[in-house]
């Protein structure tokens, strides 16, 4: 007979109900409570871990926050440094280099990037790789620009040390004695050809003077080339002086050449006499100044022997569209 106060279970092997002993019931109840407690404890632990930081995590978060602040500060400093460097580059190109007659450094050189293999591969694969790589790129860019600027300053410093020599070398006087400026015949620019009577560009200045009038070197330099010619189709007898610093002066249609190739000359030295050789319609001196092999207007190079008033007069004469002598 089945006792109602007892607990039974159905045994499939014997196909009958069997009584569960009290110690088994107690063990099962304990197991059930333990499992429930474990599940509840795991759930509470999960919630705690998910929403409550441990002391170590709090410390790490403070360090990360501090690093982010430091990164932003470094980025701002890099931006400020770039602005300062850009200002220095502008002054270098537009003031320092211009004073000494050297070309500005092309922006493509100043701002050139880095080529070749991936320079920043070692910084990849981390949580903050993008920040680190971007910072390294900015630092490398600044380092390169600073190097280029340093080399530029070295060049300017060398020129400054040699300023006296440079000023003595650059052509700065008229090539013949022309106190009252009445020997200025034709200037730089579009002029009428004396033979064909058509307009063409005249790349120098013509000074009319009697045959035998002294011609002087307009700056210190070395005689680079001399030509003596009887042809009526060219510049006749001429002298080319190399003054250094990319400047040359050219003296054509001479009657006599009084210097030799390779000879050093100083500003004011007698180098030849006015003539009427080559393609020339009257005795005169054809004078040119060349900078980096390009012919430029000589009227801008008479500051050493003209007053401001005489210089203005010279500009006026040189700008008149008259006939050249060659």
User: Tens of pLDDT along the chain (326 residues)?
Assistant: 444 556 666 666 677 766 666 555 566 677 777 888 788 877 777 776 666 667 777 788 787 788 778 878 888 888 888 888 888 888 888 887 877 778 888 888 887 766 655 778 887 877 777 878 888 888 888 888 888 999 988 888 887 887 888 888 999 999 998 876 777 777 787 776 666 666 778 888 889 899 999 999 999 999 999 999 888 888 999 999 999 989 999 999 999 999 999 999 999 999 999 999 998 888 999 999 999 899 998 888 887 777 777 777 777 777 676 656 67
Pair (199, 133) in one structural domain: no
> Within 10 A of 177 (CB to CB), how many other CB atoms are there?
15
Which structural domain range is residue 256 located in?
A: 184-319
CB under 8 A, 24+ apart: contacts of 91-99:
92/149, 92/152, 92/153, 92/156, 96/153, 96/156, 97/152, 97/156
**Could you tell me where the DSSP H helices lie in 92-185?**
97-99, 107-110, 129-161, 163-169
> Within 10 A of 222 (CB to CB), how many other CB atoms are there?
15
Query: In whole angstroms, what is the distance from residue 211 CA to residue 251 CA?
Result: 14
Pair (62, 41) in one structural domain: no
Pair (188, 150) in one structural domain: no
Asked if residue 144 is part of any domain, the answer here is: yes
Number of domains in the chain: 3
Asked if residue 278 is part of any domain, the answer here is: yes
Q: What is the DSSP secondary structure assignment for residue 98, as one 8-state letter? A: H
pLDDT value, residue 248: 96
Placement of tokens 């990849």 in the chain: 124
Asked if residue 325 is part of any domain, the answer here is: no
Pair (193, 315) in one structural domain: yes
The SS3 assignment for 307 reads: coil
Asked if residue 175 is part of any domain, the answer here is: no
Pair (18, 121) in one structural domain: no
Pair (226, 283) in one structural domain: yes
Asked if residue 233 is part of any domain, the answer here is: yes
Asked if residue 214 is part of any domain, the answer here is: yes
CB 187 within 8 A of CB 203: no
Asked if residue 206 is part of any domain, the answer here is: yes
Longest dimension (CA), the chain: 158
Asked if residue 174 is part of any domain, the answer here is: no
Pair (193, 153) in one structural domain: no
Pair (139, 228) in one structural domain: no
CA nearest neighbour of 256 among 277, 241, 287: 277
Pair (89, 146) in one structural domain: yes
């Amino acid at each position: 007979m089945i006792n109602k106060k007892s607990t039974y279970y159905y045994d499939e092997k014997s196909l009958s109900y069997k009584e569960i002993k009290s110690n088994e019931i107690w063990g099962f109840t304990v197991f059930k409570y333990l499992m429930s407690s474990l599940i509840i404890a795991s759930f509470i632990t999960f919630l705690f871990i998910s929403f409550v930081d441990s002391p170590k995590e709090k410390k790490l978060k403070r360090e990360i926050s501090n690093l982010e602040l430091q990164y932003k500060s470094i980025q701002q400093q890099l931006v400020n440094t770039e602005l300062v460097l850009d200002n220095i580059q502008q002054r270098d190109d537009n003031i320092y280099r211009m004073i000494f007659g050297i070309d500005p450094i092309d922006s493509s050189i100043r701002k050139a990037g880095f080529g070749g293999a991936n320079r920043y591969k070692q910084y990849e694969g981390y949580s903050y790789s993008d920040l680190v790589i971007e910072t390294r790129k900015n630092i490398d860019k600044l380092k390169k620009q600073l190097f280029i600027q340093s080399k530029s300053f070295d060049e300017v410093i060398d020129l400054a040390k040699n300023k006296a020599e440079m000023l003595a070398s650059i052509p700065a006087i008229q090539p013949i004695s022309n106190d009252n400026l009445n020997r200025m015949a034709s200037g730089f620019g579009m002029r009428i050809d004396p033979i064909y009577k058509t307009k063409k560009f005249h790349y120098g200045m013509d000074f009319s003077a009697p045959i035998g009038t002294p011609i002087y070197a307009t700056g210190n330099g070395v005689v680079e080339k001399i030509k003596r010619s009887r042809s009526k189709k060219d510049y006749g007898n001429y002298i080319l002086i190399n003054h250094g610093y990319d400047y040359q002066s050219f003296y054509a249609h001479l009657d006599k050449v009084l210097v030799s190739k390779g000879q050093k000359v100083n500003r004011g030295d007698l180098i030849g006499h006015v003539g009427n050789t080559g393609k020339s319609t009257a005795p005169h001196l054809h004078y040119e100044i060349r900078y980096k092999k390009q012919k430029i207007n000589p009227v801008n190079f008479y500051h050493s022997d003209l007053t401001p008033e005489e210089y203005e007069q010279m500009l006026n004469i040189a700008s008149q569209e008259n006939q050249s002598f060659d």
